[in-house]
A and B are shown apart, each in its own frame.
Chain A
Amino acid sequence: MAFLGYFLRRLSLVIPTLLGVTIITFTLTYVLPGNPAVVKAGPLVSPEVVKELEKAMGLDQPAWVQYGRYISGVLHGDLGQSASTGRPVLEDFKQRLPATLELTLASLLIALVLGIPLGVQSAVHRDTAIDHLGRIVGVAGVAMPTFWTGLLSLYVFFYLLGVAPPPSR
């Protein structure tokens, strides 16, 4: 019963949290410079045309109206259209989610298969070579930024050894 109460309390916090996230992301996007109408119109058109496009895209509306439209879309499963692919964002999201999950699960598996045994061995054999190895791997893993580890791994496993697939899906 206590658990159910805890669960419901946590669940009730999800809605304000998600609302907070949408407000923060919307505000950040709104206040940062960069006008989608300018990008969409192209460089050779007049400011009047850009204004016309801003109106068509609803960018001339007050922020709270734009936010309302955004939230209404989100609640109806419409995340808008991607400026870079021209497709509904939800479609892009669905397409890319499996790759993200695949990569996340695979790296988690590697971490578990290598990390747990190494951790256990390090604890059992303190101050031995395996403990030092575990410490080095652990510290390096945390200290090195993932983009650097990624590039380094590609260089070694793809370019030098030729055992990993090319860096594209």
Chain B
Amino acid sequence: MGIKADRRTFLKLSSGAGAAALGGLPTGQARAEGSQTLTLAWDTDIDSLDPHVFKSVGGYAVQCNIYDPVVSWKVRPVEGVVGLSRSFPNEFEGSIAQSWTFERDGATVVLKLRPGMTFPSGRPVNAAALKYSLDRALQSPGYMRFVMPRMLQISKPDDIEVRDDSTVAINMKGPTPQPMVLNLLSLMTITALDPELVKPNATEKDPWAADWAKRNPAGSGPYTLAANTPGVEVVLEARKDHWRRVPAFQKVVFKFVPNEADRVLLLKRKAVDLVVGRPGLSPRSIKAFEGDKAFKIVSVPDTTCHWLAMNQTKAPLDNVKVRQAINYAIPVAAIVPNVLMGYGAAMTSPVPALTPGHDGKLSPYKFNLDKARELMKEAGVTTPVTLDLAVRIGWQPHEEAAVWIQRELEKIGFKINITRQTDATFRQLASKGDLQLSIESWQSWVNDPFFHLVPLFHSTSKGTNTAFYANPKLDKLLDENYHEPNADKRLAAAQEAQKIVIEDAVWGMLWYDNWTRVMRADLVGIEKRWDTFERFTAMKLA
């Protein structure tokens, strides 16, 4: 007979009988819940469930399972990795929209909705529901109302046209590259909410029920939100009538475990099946599972970029020779195996290797201290140059990489002080231009070179252009080609843009992360899409 080792029992026993009683408890109590329940550990709460506001990783991860996107990134099995499928550039499949066509030379996308699709309430996911949701995205207080006009070229409800009960047309301002449109429609932030659920919660001051939608789901996804207890757990329950399939895991439990060491212990003890989130587990923790047959490490290249941000408003980082010298002195070949433990790859261009238009042959930078010293001499700066290098507390690979970078930069005439800041402080200082050197990261959910390049390198992109780089030639190239419908012309422009950014050494190029998860060995049906968040519909035990 076993005693259930829950917290109350433990406290009762430990406080009542003292520590000596512990020796009498049976071992091996901690186990994930059973074949129909998937238990995960993560380190985040849900700040909002409203699809149209910017939110925490936890908010997005849950949203990806309780809402359906309009279109979906198609996934295919990854060769050589058992149980993993991933999305490939510009491959899509139907979701709310079963099919689509383009009109007006690509300026209108016509969505034919999936017949018979319903919300958990039983009400249909029809053209009226999608129209209401897109109108809401354009007008409710979230960030989609700012993002959609720029990217999808729509700005007002009149741009969304209901043609019949199952057909919606989105009339954009002008032709837009079709893959770009489909990528944007695959985002979970452009989805359908059940209007009859949302509308009764609207008020005069809050016509889109933003306050209600923050904590209440209204989607048509394969799971419903059964419980959300901040600081404890989130529970999702599978729908039996979802159009895609009935998930093998009827229940998904996200356990809130803020400490990474605890997440490792839980997984090792098999109290959870999988660790998710960003970072979930750092490379050193992942390494600890290598060779253990009870666990599976799934790791595939991803589009997340990490770079040394060099603020060009701070001398001598305004000198291109200095920035080039830094690129020659970054020991990325040592950082990848020693810091990332191999779960990543050296950056070869600011456009990720998996993104269309990437050219990995443009960069001349290879670790070469002699060349770096020569460039420093040509730059004419007086050495030593004292600079601060900022990293975020808890970002383990960044903290470790900073030390490797510090050591090599000091060999070419710098004196580097590493400073550590909290996320909020770091972000605030970076956006105000108060940092000199810092380690940054970015992942573009839309796998498109211009979606990626504009926020990071356009002079008008305040807050994300961490170098405060301003080059009118590049701005013009990006502006002219962001919505260029000719694919070849657009890719050529993307290559030209990379050339400019690399020659100007805007970034100190570091690495691309792998998308890596550690899980119980018999878990299959893992799907990795461009936004990196798991969908649980296909997951099961082998």
Check A162 for interface membership: any CB of B closer than 8 A: yes
State in angstroms the CA–CA spacing of A41 and B147 once bound together.
11
Q: Is the CB of B56 within 8 A of A84?
A: yes
Q: Is the CB of A106 within 8 A of B230?
A: no
Check A62 for interface membership: any CB of B closer than 8 A: no
Q: Of the candidates B229, B271, B460, which one forms a contact with A95 in the assembled complex, judged by CB atoms under 8 Å apart?
A: B229
Q: Which residues of B contact A45 (CB under 8 A)?
A: 143, 146-147, 463
| Nearest-Cβ distance from residue A60 to partner chain B, whole angstroms | 16
Q: Of the candidates B232, B272, B463, which one forms a contact with A43 in the assembled complex, judged by CB atoms under 8 Å apart?
A: B463
Q: Is the CB of B15 within 8 A of A106?
A: yes
Q: Is the CB of B19 within 8 A of A158?
A: no
User: Which A residues, 148 to 169, have Cβ-Cβ distances below 8 Å to chain B?
Assistant: 151, 154-155, 157-159, 161-169
Which partner residue on chain A sits nearest B233 by CB separation? A168
Give the interface size bracket for A toward B: 35 or more
State in angstroms the CA–CA spacing of A140 and B15 once bound together.
20
Given A110-B14, A155-B265, A168-B257, does the pair A163, B230 have CB atoms closer than 8 Å?
Answer: no
State in angstroms the CA–CA spacing of A38 and B430 once bound together.
11
Check A34 for interface membership: any CB of B closer than 8 A: yes
Q: Is the CB of A167 within 8 A of B266?
A: yes
Q: Is the CB of B5 within 8 A of A92?
A: no
Q: Is the CB of A41 within 8 A of B14?
A: no
Check B45 for interface membership: any CB of A closer than 8 A: yes
Q: Is the CB of B10 within 8 A of A165?
A: yes
Q: Is the CB of A85 within 8 A of B46?
A: yes
Q: Is the CB of A41 within 8 A of B54?
A: yes
Which partner residue on chain B sits nearest A47 by CB separation? B462
Q: Which residues of B contact A34 (CB under 8 A)?
A: 422, 424-425, 427-428
Given A166-B271, A167-B266, A168-B233, does the pair A83, B255 have CB atoms closer than 8 Å?
Answer: no
Q: Is the CB of A44 within 8 A of B464?
A: yes
Q: Which residues of A contact B10 (CB under 8 A)?
A: 163-165
| Nearest-Cβ distance from residue A152 to partner chain B, whole angstroms | 11
Check B158 for interface membership: any CB of A closer than 8 A: no
State in angstroms the CA–CA spacing of A45 and B28 once bound together.
50
Contact with B along A22-41 (1 / 0, CB 8 A): 00000000001111101111
State in angstroms the CA–CA spacing of A130 and B436 once bound together.
58
Q: Is the CB of A110 within 8 A of B231?
A: no
Given A95-B231, A96-B231, does the pair A154, B429 have CB atoms closer than 8 Å?
Answer: no
Q: Is the CB of A85 within 8 A of B230?
A: yes
Q: Which residues of B contact A102 (CB under 8 A)?
A: 7, 11
Q: Which residues of B contact A110 (CB under 8 A)?
A: 14-15, 18-19
Which partner residue on chain A sits nearest B54 by CB separation? A42
| Nearest-Cβ distance from residue B464 to partner chain A, whole angstroms | 5
Check A132 for interface membership: any CB of B closer than 8 A: no
Check A68 for interface membership: any CB of B closer than 8 A: no
State in angstroms the CA–CA spacing of A169 and B41 once bound together.
12
Q: Is the CB of A47 within 8 A of B11?
A: no
Check A14 for interface membership: any CB of B closer than 8 A: no
Q: Of the candidates A49, A106, A155, A162, which one forms a contact with B28 in the assembled complex, judged by CB atoms under 8 Å apart?
A: A162
Which partner residue on chain A sits nearest B21 by CB separation? A163
State in angstroms the CA–CA spacing of A40 and B56 once bound together.
9
Considering residues A109, A151, A162, A167, which has the most beta carbons from chain B within 10 angstroms of its beta carbon?
A167
| Nearest-Cβ distance from residue A123 to partner chain B, whole angstroms | 20
Q: Is the CB of A46 within 8 A of B46?
A: no
Q: Is the CB of B47 within 8 A of A106?
A: no
Check A4 for interface membership: any CB of B closer than 8 A: no
State in angstroms the CA–CA spacing of A87 and B229 once bound together.
11
Q: Which residues of A contact B464 (CB under 8 A)?
A: 43-44
Q: Is the CB of A106 within 8 A of B18?
A: no
Q: Which residues of B contact A16 (CB under 8 A)?
A: none
Q: Is the CB of B265 within 8 A of A158?
A: yes
Q: Which residues of B contact A87 (CB under 8 A)?
A: 215, 230
State in angstroms the CA–CA spacing of A106 and B375 once bound together.
64
Check A113 for interface membership: any CB of B closer than 8 A: yes
Check A114 for interface membership: any CB of B closer than 8 A: yes
Check B487 for interface membership: any CB of A closer than 8 A: no
Contact with B along A77-108 (1 / 0, CB 8 A): 00000111111000010011000001101100
User: Which A residues, 112 to 140, have Cβ-Cβ distances below 8 Å to chain B?
Assistant: 113-114
Q: Is the CB of A165 within 8 A of B45?
A: no
Q: Which residues of A contact B542 (CB under 8 A)?
A: none
State in angstroms the CA–CA spacing of A159 and B45 once bound together.
25
Q: Which residues of A contact B257 (CB under 8 A)?
A: 167-168
State in angstroms the CA–CA spacing of A164 and B5 once bound together.
6
Contact with A along B7-32 (1 / 0, CB 8 A): 10111001110110011011111100
In order of increasing CB-CB distance, the 4 nearest A-B pairs are A42-B54, A34-B424, A162-B27, A109-B15
Q: 20 extra interchain contacts, Cβ-Cβ under 8 A, other than A46-B462, A158-B30?
A: A32-B425, A33-B429, A34-B422, A35-B424, A44-B143, A49-B146, A82-B47, A85-B46, A86-B215, A155-B265, A159-B265, A161-B27, A162-B26, A162-B29, A163-B26, A163-B27, A165-B5, A165-B29, A168-B41, A168-B233
Binding site for A on B (CB under 8 A): 5-7, 9-11, 14-16, 18-19, 22-23, 25-30, 41, 44-48, 54, 56, 143, 146-147, 214-215, 229-233, 255-257, 259, 261-262, 265-266, 268-269, 271-272, 422, 424-425, 427-429, 431, 455, 460, 462-464
Binding site for B on A (CB under 8 A): 32-36, 38-47, 49-50, 82-87, 92, 95-96, 102-103, 105-106, 109-110, 113-114, 151, 154-155, 157-159, 161-169
> What are 23 A-B contacts with C-beta separation under 8 Å?
A33-B424, A35-B424, A50-B463, A84-B47, A86-B214, A95-B229, A95-B230, A105-B15, A110-B19, A113-B18, A151-B262, A157-B22, A161-B22, A162-B27, A163-B5, A163-B10, A164-B5, A164-B10, A165-B7, A165-B10, A166-B269, A167-B259, A167-B266
